[in-house]
Structure formats: structure tokens, C-alpha cells
Structure 1
Amino acid sequence: MRPSASVAALLLALIVPAAALAQAAPCDGGSVFEDRNGNGRRDAGEPGLQGQRVSDGERIVVSDAQGRYRLPLRDNRSQFLIKPAGYRLANRASGLPDYWLNVRLQAGPALKYGGMPVATSCRDYGLIPERRKAAGDLDVLVFADPQTKTATDVDYYRRDIVEPLLADRLAGRRVADLGLSLGDITHDDLSLYPKLNAVTASLEVPWLHAPGNHDLDFDATRDEDSLLSFRHVYGPDTFAWEEAQANFVVLDDVVYQPGSKADYIGGLRPDQFAFLESYLAGVSRQRLLVLAMHIPLFDAAPGRETFRRADRERLFGLLKDFPNLLVLSGHSHTQRHVFHDAASGWQGAKPLHEYNVGAACGAFWSGVKDAQGIPDTTMSDGTPNGYARLSVRADAGYGLRWFPARQSDSDKVANPYLRLYLPKVLRRGSYPSRGVFANVYMGREDSRVEYRLDDGDWKPMRRVEQPDPAVLAENARDDETERLRGYDRAATATPSAHLWNAPLPTDAAAGEHKVEVRVFDPWQGEQRMSASYRLLDTAQD
């Protein structure tokens, strides 16, 4: 005899708490399979894959011998497959890799950009065996803050950042193995996502996205709903992805605080910590572990809590026993390397390296336009806008390099490592108060930077934390003009974390003198750049 509906409901209530009934629905028939023809659907003869992990952003379950997984749907969650090394994924219609399912059991809040529509079905996840050999280095493109405000900015992003990279693809070369965008994909106008995705997808690189504070639904009334429109397009805000050389964890670290004095702060939610604890417990420590996020873990200024310290301490506790770590962050629209140690609560065996990546949009697509109609958009610390490349070896070693927009290895005109600033002419015998400045874009506090005059002996330059004089000069030109030089003025100069200075002597012979600077980059080796200044004999009037 079958129990009545009311009796069945009572029996179920005795087994499952009422709160869970409101938040969960059964998910039957989900599987992970080998997508042999790469069409994203499970066809006849395509076997299930055992031991594959599926998560709802908090719990992780593992597929059985037939590839089946059981993970009840939970409202307002994004379910996802943790892509394992040795496989790739089919693409969604947007060009993004297909590894997630958004779950919405009932209609959510009405939001300007649509939020996340109702979706209650389960799904199968297909994995395509990777035919390429994984023995070489992993090449990862890293974009921080494309931050487009309008369709015009999307066109800048296309012409300034993406199209120069397309030359590789059009020549039959692989652009990269993986791409990462570190938040602020757009600047509050989430309707621009399709246009942006179409541009990025033209690179034909699997691309992962972290959300930023400008990717929020600002009409949401709570943090839990603040990324619904982002997740409708990009899927989970926190997830893991694995390659043969490295494991990646992408994190939403923007905590929305509507109604507060500051409407957001850096931090992590309890469900994210639960996911991290489960995932890290079973992850290989031989591979490099890369954490990709928007807001940096370090404080932007002394005494200013940019990232909640309690959350940082808890995160550091989970990571301290991992020997191979790298943190990638964005948000600042400047560039710097930070090595966390005991002073910031890090207790690992060696300092934790955080690379705060410069912005693809630079200074928000501002400044004077060039002959192609693209703004200069140099960042406030003097770093040109652009993107980074992360190269990871099989032994978990890695290298980083900054690429100014529209520059490449074949660019022989501009130097992608540094820029020099010095006066063009000085009076011979004047007080030597003027010097040469070297902005070393990837410079660190311990970087070795040296200079010499007229092929003489090399001498050390001194690291200074002050504004780049080239940016100050651009600010002065903006101030002096009676007409706008660009749609938006250049960024206001701020102290640079990678600026070096040395004095220029005035007691040498009259005439032109060569100044040469060399930088010892830990990943690219010695890099040099030269310039010159003139000494003039001048009689006092």
C-alpha cells in the first residue's frame, strides 16, 4: 500500500530538515562522461568517467564507476564540474567553456540586468580527452580589469588588447592554453557582457572569469543576490579548474554591503571556506596552486582594511602547508608584487607571492588618443595598460611577464620592461639635483636595477616610492591646456612601487652623454634601455 501524499510528506520531514526541503530538490541522472566527439552531448558509446568531482560551491561529490553523481539541487547555487587535467571542454554558445549549471528553483529578485532565471533541471558534464601533450609549460593569459563603460570601450579593448594577440591565431600558432580575467569585466553596465565575450572568444582560448566590484547587481538588497546577473553569464563565482602543471581556484572576494558607508569590502563567505576546505584536502601539492581573485589580500594603505583580516587569516591557515603557491589579484589599476610574511599573518615556510596585476583598461580608458584613436590610458603608477602572461613548468616553477598593450616579443621600438625619464639638457656645472628615473614595470622591492654613464662602471639605482615624473608631466599638460585633450584626463599620479632613481652628473664634458639602465628580471633575465642628455656651457646673463 502506498502512503498518502500527506503521510509521505510527514515521513520525508522526519528524515530531512524543513530548511533543507525549502532549499533542495533531488537531482537524478547526472553524469560525467567522455565526450569523444566533442559535441557537448552524451551520445551512444561514450562511457561514464569515474572519480570526477562536481560541486555546488560548498559540497563536492565524486562520480561512481558509471560516471554518475548525486548532488541535490539547491536554490540560488551554481553547480559545476571541477575540470581535471588531461581534458578540455566544449564551448557554450557564448564561447565560454561549458562546465556549470545555474540553479534557480523559484523566481528571484527583479534586477536591472535580469539576474538569474528559473532553472531546475539536472545535467551531464562532458570531458573531451586532450590530444596535445602536456609536457611543456602551461601558458596563461591574465587580464585584470577590462572595465568597459560603453561600447566604445569594448572597441578599445578589442583593438588595444585582443586584436594584437589574434596575430598568433591567424598565423596558426596557439595564443595561450588558458585565460583568466580578474574581475571588473565591465564597469557597472552588465549589458556589455555579450559584446565583451564575443571579443575575448575570438582568441579561441578557454577563459575563466572572477567577478569584481563593478560586476555587481547594485540594485540587489543582499550579498547573496549581488552576482546573479554575473553568474547567469559566467556561472559560478567560486570554482576550481585543473591543468597538468597547475591547479586554479577562482574566488569571488567582493563582499557586497548595501547600505553601509563602504558598499563592499574584500572577504570570503562561509560556503567558500567550506568548498576550499573540501577541495584543498584532496588536491596535489606537487602542482602550483594559483588563487585568482579581484580584490588584493594586502591592505591598500596602512591601517585601511581592504580585505577582512579575519578572512585573510583563515585563508592563510588553509594554505600554509602548500609549498607551491601564487596569488593573482586586480582591482588597484596599478601593478606590484607583494610577498606576504608573518607581518601580514602568513605562516608558510616561505613568503606567499601575490602579483597584483595591472589593468587591461589601464586608467579606465582615459588620456590622449593616439593616431589609431585609442587612449594612452597609462596607470597612475606609470605602468602602461596591458596584460600579463603566466608560464608554469611541470615542476611547479613559474614565470611572469607584463605586456604593454599592442607590444609583443617582436616589438623593437618600445621596451616592455621599463621606461626612462630624464631631462634633455642641463647646464654644465649646475648643482646635480636632476636625475634619471627608471620605471620597472615588474620591479619588486628586491629588484637589482643599475645604471652607467658613457659606458662607465655600473652603479646601483635607489628605489623610491614617489609618483612617476612622466605621469606628473602628463598631469601638468592636462592642467595647462584650455581644451580637453581627451575624453577623460590622464590618471592622477600616485606613488609607484617600482620606480628607481639615480643622479645625473653635471661635471662631465660639454655635449651629449649616454645613460644606460639595466634590470635583472627574475624570469626574463637582464634587460637594458638607454637614453641621453646634453650638458651645455652657458654664461650667466
Structure 2
Amino acid sequence: MRPSVTACFLSLALIAPATALALPPPCNSGTVYEDRNGNGRRDDGEPGLPGIRVSDGVDLVVSDAHGSYHLPAIDGRTSFVIKPPGYRVGRRDNGLPDFSFNVQREPGPKLKYGGIPASFPSCRDYGLIPQQARTRPQLDVLVFADPQPKTATDVDYYRRDIVEPLLAQSRGRGTVADLGLSLGDIVHDDLSLYPALNRATALLDVPWLHAPGNHDLDFDAGRDEDSLLSYRNVFGPDTYAWEEPEASFVMLDDVIYRPGQRPAYIGGLREEQFGFLERYLATARKDRLLVIGVHIPFFDAAPGRETFRHADRERLFALLRDFPHVLLLSGHGHVQRHVYHGAKDGWHGAAPLHEYNVGAACGAFWSGVKDGQGIPDATMADGTPNGYARLAVDAAGSYRLSWHPARLAAAAASTPAMSLHAPRVLRRGAYPAFSVFANVYMGQDDSRVEFRIDDGAWAPMQRSEQADPNLLAENARDDQAAALRGYDRSPEAEPSAHLWRGTLPTDLAAGEHRIEVRTLDPWRGEQRAQTVYRLQDAKE
């Protein structure tokens, strides 16, 4: 849908000679109006909307009684409307929400992927389309972290592994979701892949919000301020807010680019981002969930090293302190975990602050042995299968989270919550030193995980931070292979934050025995999985 644009200046064709012209000042004004027929332009009878917030990522203004707004026109900024509850915005030709425009009168730095081209200054009207009330009881949000294709082949994996099964799953059930989020590393350094990836995501027909990652940078930029110009030319602002009736969403660029240094980036926020946050949060409602979406986690992902600037984290947490319902979403690690921030992290709220570090859509960078459809296994280093998360939010600020392994979620009667590993056979009467392992994808430090043999009594399993045995076995198969088993082999198994073990009894009757594991998921209730092992008599 084409954006509604109001010309602020006479055409250059009416002014001569061109060589004597000085560029007119850029414009960053316009009207927010109710686009009642959804055609992307303001027609007679479509009123201006008062009280709508418009920002450029630093300053924030509110439309007046006639819907008019005015922001300082500063080259290099991106203006956007903060979509309010009860409305939706149109879609651009690439399927992305049409809620922003770039102010760029003078040419910026020359960059490999183009940056933001200079354009004749124009004013921007924002049309908000009245949104019909949803029939489902909760806001349903798809959460993707790190789709990260390196090539067109990887984009094809993304489409066939993630997008198409979601479409198949939703047939006859209405829309796929109400909203979608991508938490950075939209691609892997090759920004020319953005159009192809967006075409695949647009098939879901869901309004989609993006935050940038460290692999979305213009690495030929000489400074952090210019490192997302090509990203912003495609996706719009890197720091912005979006509101639904059940939740407010703030998407933030938290990658500080440091060209010429090692490491070349660190997690953190810029001063102007804090300016926007201070202005926006002063106006944000506190009776709904506030979701902060970023790429780099707020916790230190590398032991003993500051991977997110602690001073920035404390400053952000201070701004969030008075919000009773906050959820942090991050990506970047290609593993999955839950972290609860407290005083040692600078959080001083009434309850610990929950950060869900979301597993990667690409898993382990689209690596591993391909299946019958030619799609790599892509299991992550902690044993979590690649996939996506869902966030369900109700109007009271509470939420539910779930992890959905790619394709398995569509093929199974219910989304698998865990994978099991157990020996196939043990000697009957052997010393009981062998275990069943349960990798509970959404497991947390205090999760209750139990197992039983056949229909016996349930016994607790012990949390064990070690490598997932299934992935260790895959590593061994790769090591022993005389030829490559895939384009890239599976990652080396790392200690998993959500692995439990239970010792298998060997004093039962010879033959096959069923192992059943259950866990109490805080959002989905009891989840079960099962496998078998066999006891065999052996002679010396």
C-alpha cells in the first residue's frame, strides 16, 4: 500500500536554474488521520486523530486537535507513528508495516548496501485504520530470533522449515497470529538478502516488527551512528514503540558498533535511545504488559566479560521499575534460557524481572544433516531444536510462553516440550549408573521434572548442566564420518541450562520397559514424553 504523502514544497522543475538551487529544509510534519476505508490516503470525511504520539526515536510529540504533528527535521532520523490500540496500519509492497519514513536530505556515507538514499523532502501523513476487535481471548504473538540466512539457500530453508508449516497449521483456523517479532540477525551479514527474507515472512500475512542484530550492520560504516542505515532503509526505525490492547512493545537496537576494536560490538543503548524511552515510558500505560524486544541479552552471556554495558542496563531497569508487568525478549545466543534479574543486575522492582532468551529460528546457523526434504537438522548447541516461540498476552498483563520446534510443531498432535535420551539396552543386574536424560526446552532452574518406569511411582530427576547426549552422539557421528554429512556439521554440544537426568533401574524383569517423563510447565501445564529401554541377561 502506498504511503500518504503531503508535498511541502514546489516541484524542483518549477525552479531554475538547478545549479543555483539550495536544497530546501527537510520536512517532518503532517497529519495523523483515521483511514476509514484503508486505501492509504486521506479522503473527504476522514478526520484527523488527536492525541496520537509521533516520534523520531529521540523527540516525541502528540498530534493536536486536528491530528497535526510537527517534529524537528533532522537529517538521519527516522520518523514513526506509535500505533495505538484499536488501530492497524497499512502494509508496504514488501509486506512490512507502513508506519515510518526516513529524513535524509543530504547524501549519507557511501556504503556497500546503499544506506539511506537522499530524497526530496516531503511531509508524511499517517493513516490509522480502525481495527476490528479480535475474536480470540488473548493477543497471539509469534517470536522469531536470528533467522540469519547466509545465502538464498538458507532463505529457502527458512521458508520451508518455519513459514510454510505455520501456514499449513493455521489453515481453517483463521490468522496465523496477531503480531510477529524478529529479534535481530535478520540475515547473516549479506543485507542484499532482506527482500527475499521479507517475501517469505510476508506469506504469514501478520504485522511484523523487527529489531536489528549484530549481523545486520553496515560493517563498512565508520561509526556506530551510521551502522544501521541500510537496515533502516528497509525496516524503518531501530528504536520505536507499538501498542496493542493487551500489551505495549518497545523494540530497541542494543548493538553498539565499535569499528576497529575487538570485539567489534557490545550490547548497550545510545543516549538518544534513553531520551526516547524516558519520553515514551512517561506516557505508557502500566496496567498492561510492557515487552522490551532486543537482540543482545541483558545478562552477561560470556562468563567474566561484560557483554551488555552494565551502566546502560541499570539505567534501563530504573526506567522500568514502576511497571508491574514487564517481559524482556532477547536473542543472539543460539541457545535458549530464562533469566530472572534482581538487585545484583540493577533491577529493584517488586518481583524479579523475567528475560526470555529466545532460541534461534535458524538453530545452529542452518547446519547439520539434511532430512528427506533437504532441510538441515539445525539443532542448537544446548540441544534445543530450531524453531520459534509464541507469546500469549491477556488484558490483565499476564502472559504465556511456548517453544515450537520447526515442523515438529505442525506435524505432531501437540507441540513437543522435550527430547529424551536413554540407552537402548542395559545388562540386567548391572550397577545402576546409567541415566535417562530429558532436555526440557522451556525448563527453568526450579522446574519440576519427574520420571517413572512402566506404571511405577514417579521419582524426581536432577537438573544437570552438561551437554545434551543426543547432540554428543551426533558430534561423534560427524567425527567418525569419512565424508561430510551435510554442508556444515552440527555444533559442538555445550552445557545445557535445561537438562535433567534420572538413574535407570536394572533390577527389573528382562525385556523392554517404558520410560515416561513429565514436567509441569508454568504456562502449558503438564507435559509428557516417553521412550523405552531393554534389560538383557548376560553371561560372563
Specify the code of the residue in structure 2 equivalent to 1:399: R
Q: Does 1:76 align with 2:76?
A: yes
| Structure-2 residue corresponding to 1:154 | 155
- Paired with 1:460 and 1:353, the residues of 2 have a C-alpha distance of 26
| Structure-2 residue corresponding to 1:496 | 496
SS at match of 1:136: coil
SS at match of 2:101: strand
- Paired with 1:164 and 1:445, the residues of 2 have a C-alpha distance of 31
Gaps of 5+ in 2: 1-23
| Structure-2 residue corresponding to 1:531 | 531
**How many percent identity over aligned positions?**
67
| Structure-2 residue corresponding to 1:15 | none
| Structure-2 residue corresponding to 1:267 | 268
- Paired with 2:457 and 2:287, the residues of 1 have a C-alpha distance of 44
| Structure-2 residue corresponding to 1:281 | 282
Specify the code of the residue in structure 2 equivalent to 1:242: E
Structural mapping, 1:222-301, within 5 Å: 222-301=223-302
SS at match of 2:49: coil
- Paired with 1:511 and 1:415, the residues of 2 have a C-alpha distance of 30
Specify the code of the residue in structure 2 equivalent to 1:441: Y
| Structure-2 residue corresponding to 1:31 | 31
| Structure-1 residue corresponding to 2:470 | 470
- Paired with 1:381 and 1:36, the residues of 2 have a C-alpha distance of 49
- Paired with 1:500 and 1:135, the residues of 2 have a C-alpha distance of 35
Deviation at 1:409, TM superposition (A): 6.3
| Structure-2 residue corresponding to 1:131 | 132
Structural mapping, 1:46-125, within 5 Å: 46-119=46-119, 120-125=121-126
Single out whichever of 113-122 and 371-380 deviates more from structure 2: 113-122
Deviation at 1:410, TM superposition (A): 6.2
Deviation at 1:159, TM superposition (A): 0.2
- Paired with 1:94 and 1:513, the residues of 2 have a C-alpha distance of 54
Single out whichever of 426-435 and 464-473 deviates more from structure 2: 426-435
- Paired with 1:424 and 1:129, the residues of 2 have a C-alpha distance of 59
Specify the code of the residue in structure 2 equivalent to 1:480: Q
SS at match of 2:423: coil
Work out whether residues 25 and 72 of structure 1, in 8 Å CA contact, stay in contact via their aligned partners in 2: no
- Paired with 2:100 and 2:410, the residues of 1 have a C-alpha distance of 36
- Paired with 1:410 and 1:375, the residues of 2 have a C-alpha distance of 17
Work out whether residues 50 and 66 of structure 2, in 8 Å CA contact, stay in contact via their aligned partners in 1: yes
- Paired with 1:499 and 1:147, the residues of 2 have a C-alpha distance of 26
Deviation at 1:260, TM superposition (A): 0.3
| Structure-2 residue corresponding to 1:431 | 431
Deviation at 1:322, TM superposition (A): 0.8
- Paired with 2:82 and 2:486, the residues of 1 have a C-alpha distance of 45
SS at match of 2:274: helix
Deviation at 1:149, TM superposition (A): 0.3
- Paired with 1:315 and 1:517, the residues of 2 have a C-alpha distance of 40
Work out whether residues 428 and 537 of structure 2, in 8 Å CA contact, stay in contact via their aligned partners in 1: yes
SS at match of 2:409: coil
Structural mapping, 1:391-402, within 5 Å: 391-402=392-403
SS at match of 1:32: strand
| Structure-2 residue corresponding to 1:40 | 40
Deviation at 1:346, TM superposition (A): 1.2
Judging changes above 3 Å, is the alpha-carbon distance between structure 1 residues 407 and 260 closer, same or farther for their aligned structure 2 residues?
A: same
Work out whether residues 452 and 517 of structure 2, in 8 Å CA contact, stay in contact via their aligned partners in 1: yes
TM-score normalised to structure 2 length: 0.94
Specify the code of the residue in structure 1 equivalent to 2:421: Y
Deviation at 1:415, TM superposition (A): 5.5
| Structure-1 residue corresponding to 2:189 | 188
Work out whether residues 26 and 74 of structure 2, in 8 Å CA contact, stay in contact via their aligned partners in 1: no
Deviation at 1:344, TM superposition (A): 1.7
SS at match of 1:76: coil
| Structure-2 residue corresponding to 1:6 | none
Deviation at 1:210, TM superposition (A): 0.3
Provide, for residues 308-351 of structure 1, a one-character-per-residue CA deviation record: whole Å limited to 9, x for no partner.
Answer: 00100101111111100000000000000111111222111000
SS at match of 1:249: strand
SS at match of 2:148: coil
Gaps of 5+ in 1: 1-23
- Paired with 2:335 and 2:130, the residues of 1 have a C-alpha distance of 39
Deviation at 1:224, TM superposition (A): 0.3
Specify the code of the residue in structure 1 equivalent to 2:426: L
Q: Could you say what the CA RMSD is over the residues aligned between the two structures, in angstroms?
A: 1.6
| Structure-2 residue corresponding to 1:382 | 383
Work out whether residues 53 and 82 of structure 2, in 8 Å CA contact, stay in contact via their aligned partners in 1: yes
Provide, for residues 431-470 of structure 1, a one-character-per-residue CA deviation record: whole Å limited to 9, x for no partner.
Answer: 2221000000000001110011121111110001110011
Deviation at 1:171, TM superposition (A): 3.0
TM-score normalised to structure 1 length: 0.94
Provide, for residues 180-205 of structure 1, a one-character-per-residue CA deviation record: whole Å limited to 9, x for no partner.
Answer: 00000000000000001011011110
- Paired with 2:358 and 2:415, the residues of 1 have a C-alpha distance of 18
Specify the code of the residue in structure 1 equivalent to 2:131: E
Structural mapping, 1:6-21, within 5 Å: none
Judging changes above 3 Å, is the alpha-carbon distance between structure 1 residues 204 and 499 closer, same or farther for their aligned structure 2 residues?
A: same
Corresponding pairs, count: 518
Work out whether residues 451 and 458 of structure 1, in 8 Å CA contact, stay in contact via their aligned partners in 2: yes
- Paired with 1:66 and 1:537, the residues of 2 have a C-alpha distance of 86
Judging changes above 3 Å, is the alpha-carbon distance between structure 1 residues 28 and 462 closer, same or farther for their aligned structure 2 residues?
A: closer
| Structure-2 residue corresponding to 1:178 | 179
Work out whether residues 169 and 410 of structure 2, in 8 Å CA contact, stay in contact via their aligned partners in 1: no
SS at match of 2:314: helix
Deviation at 1:514, TM superposition (A): 1.4
- Paired with 2:355 and 2:520, the residues of 1 have a C-alpha distance of 20
Deviation at 1:424, TM superposition (A): 0.3
